[in-house]
Amino acid sequence: MRVGPRKGRLDQRCRGRGLAEIAEESGAHLVQISTDYVFDGSKAEPYSETDEPNPNSVYGRSKLLGEVNAGSAATVMRTSWVYSTHGANMVATICRLMQGESTLQFVDDQVGYPSYTGDLAVAIRDLARDRSSGVWHCTNAGAVSWHGFAQEVLLAAGEDPARVLPIKTDELDPPRPATRPANSRLSNDRYNATYSPLPDFRQNLQSVVASYL
């Protein structure tokens, strides 16, 4: 369910509450997918599950509300910078842009861990199977800026990564309507201590890129 502003306020009745009640009544286990946007991105180090959320966008606040309404028995899995062979995602965007532009510009002052949906699906399955309640951070390994990620996509496509030029967030034209965290890195220590760590994001990037070429 998609929830946006409603008369200037978030509709607190919708976000996650109904699913939590249904899961409790039926004995099912709820996995609520959340995001790095619950943090403001000002921390110098990767965010842990115990760090205090401080979202600075409507999207981040709605996702945090979903975490709260999911209830203490649910699994809340936060991830970031998701890419896939399907749907709208940054790999698809970069592959489209590189077909028609000689140079591309991406910000180098936002950093995070890109996460492949195929790997996240395995993590979701394991957390759901074990009914692992509470908050879990789960991303692929390999911290990179959006500029660096775009370069990796071009490399995987057999293109020259020098075509990607770095810019700052405040140089974006037009500016992005929502504030994005400068630091989107999520610490996976809890997940990695319990399950097999997800691989570096580059491991599956080439096959994903190939699906768009």
CB crowding 9-40: b at 16 or more within 10 Å, else e: ebeeebbbbebbeebeeeeebbbbbbbbbbbb
In sequence order, what are the residues at sequence separation of 6 or more whose Cβ sits closer than 8 angstroms to the Cβ of residue 201? 83, 113, 114, 115, 116, 140, 141, 142, 144, 152
Place of tokens 């319990």: 194
Q: Select from 98, 90, 208 the least CA-distant residue to 149.
A: 90
Out of 59, 113, 116, 212, which one is annotated catalytic?
Answer: 59
Longest dimension (CA), the chain: 56
Active site residue 59: yes
Provide the annotated active-site residues.
Answer: 59
